[in-house]
Amino acid sequence: MENSPEAVLIREIEGFNGPGKLTKALKIDKSLNGENLATLNQLWLEDDGYKYEFKTEKRIGIDYACEKYKNKLWRFVLVKSLI
């Protein structure tokens, strides 16, 4: 939706450290901008049955942001697999 930014930055998956390497490996590019992940055929999410524990932290590298957004716990870090 226009003027309603929504995104998730995946920084790392085993074997691919960094969002640039990860998106290249998964062939994620700007052609997917604005697409609805719930209805998209080129990219999808699957439930593999694994359960994970996450912790939340402040985002990093956004010193330019106002206090309200700089201190939000919008960084999710995998702590451990529960299965």
Question: Are 81 and 50 in contact, with CB atoms under 8 Å apart?
Answer: yes
pLDDT reading at 3 higher than 80: no
**From start to end of 1-83, where are the E strands?**
12-13, 16-17, 52-57, 75-81
pLDDT reading at 80 higher than 80: no
- Provide CB contacts within 8 A for 65, sequence distance 6+: 59
Query: pTM for the complete prediction?
Result: 0.51
Q: What is the amino acid identity at position 58?
A: K
Residues in the chain: 83
Residues 63-76: pLDDT tens digits? 898 888 889 998 88
Collapsed DSSP state (helix, strand, coil) of residue 53: strand
Residues 11-53: pLDDT tens digits? 778 888 888 888 888 888 888 888 887 788 887 778 888 888 8
